[in-house]
Amino acid sequence: MHLGIRIGVFDSGVGGLTVLKSLQQTFPEAHFVYYADSNRAPYGTLDTETIWRYSARIVNYLLDREVDLIVVGCNTVTTEVIERLRANYAVPFVGIEPAIKPAAQSSSSKCIGILATERTLNSIGYTRTRDQYASECKVIERVGVGLVEEIEKGIIESAALNALVESFVIDFEEQSIDTLVLGCTHYVLIRSLFSRCFKNPITLMDANEAVAQRAFNLATPVKQVQQMVECYTSGSTQLLRRIIDHLEINAVTKIEQLEL
Ligand code: DGL
């Protein structure tokens, strides 16, 4: 049992809360500090240096809060700058990357779809993983244009979001994929919308559980405390609260606006 550990989690916005949700189950006694950079989202179209600058600012804050471990709840930050974060900070980092390896292994048709941000799909980290683990698959890659922006409005069920998801699904169905990787933590928030839009059976994959497991393997016990979740955002606290409620994240002691 990993008791009393302090874990920092961050994302460009509210998507990383899906990772926090998985971590909560794995670390029942942890103190979480979550930062959503909603005011600057999406990160997925920014250049690497800007993603680095924003990420470093958040990491500095989380270190001020004396976290023992940082979970990067953002595929874009992970695939772009996690190596640089590891080289510059002594704290252990756990990142999240599109679940391409399990998707390639479990697909029967060997035709899989990857939906992610532009930066993730163009990153060296992602292409290396794809070439290593999915060389026997046909991989259909699409940028989820507009999805993060819609989700950051805090409306998980809207006609606009529905139409957007529908358009991606039609495209993927034409390509006959049997597995779709949700390669951005924001998309995990609308997993059920994807399920509903596919007419044919589809396996949806994300890496959230794998990330929680990796964090568990890295963490060391401290002392026993009650689980506690502090949430900060550079954007709207209302939006953050709405997504926290939607995911039924419990033990939340603070939701505050914080500009870094
Ligand atoms: N949740 C982020 C990810 O997993 C979204 C990136 C963005 O802000 O575009 O990539």
**pLDDT 10s digits, 133-181:** 999 999 999 999 999 999 999 888 889 999 999 999 999 999 999 999 9
184 is catalytic: yes
Tell me the whole-structure pTM to 2 decimals.
0.95
Is 119 close to ligand 1, i.e. is its CB under 6 Å away? no
Q: Average pLDDT for residues 16-43, to the nearest whole number? A: 95
In the block, residue with structure tokens 């990420």: 55
Which residue do the tokens 């989690």 mark?
9
Domain 6-96+209-257 coded CATH 3.40.50.1860: yes
Name the architecture of domain 100-206: 3-Layer(aba) Sandwich (3.40)
User: What is the mean predicted confidence (pLDDT) over 215-238?
Assistant: 86
The catalytically annotated residue of 74, 137, 197, 231 is: 74
Q: Which of 46, 148, 190, 233 to mutate to test the pocket of ligand 1 (most atoms within 8 A of CB)?
A: 148
Distance of alpha carbon 54 from alpha carbon 222, whole angstroms = 30
3-state secondary structure of 70: strand
Could you give the residue range(s) of every CATH 3.40.50.1860 domain in the chain? Answer: 6-96+209-257, 100-206
> Strand, helix or coil at 230?
strand
Write down the pLDDT at residue 226.
Answer: 81
CA 1 to centroid of ligand 1, rounded, Å: 31
Check pLDDT > 80 for residue 222. no
Q: Could you tell me the two tokens for 226?
A: 């009650």
Catalytic residue among 137, 184, 197, 231: 184
Task: Tell me, in angstroms, the distance from the centre of ligand 1 to residue 15's CA.
Answer: 7
Residue 2 or residue 239, greater confidence: 239
Ligand 1 neighbourhood includes 186 CB (under 6 angstroms): yes
For residue 1, what pLDDT band results from cuts at 50, 70 and 90? very low
113-115-121-126 Cα dihedral, nearest 10 degrees = -70
Ligand 1 centre and the CA of 107: distance in Å?
25
237-249 pLDDT, tens digit per residue, is 999 999 999 999 9
If you take atom 9 of ligand 1, which residue's CA is the nearest one? 44
Q: Which of 68, 70, 137 is nearest to 99 (CA)?
A: 137
Answer yes or no: 74 catalytic: yes
Tokens 């016990």 correspond to 221
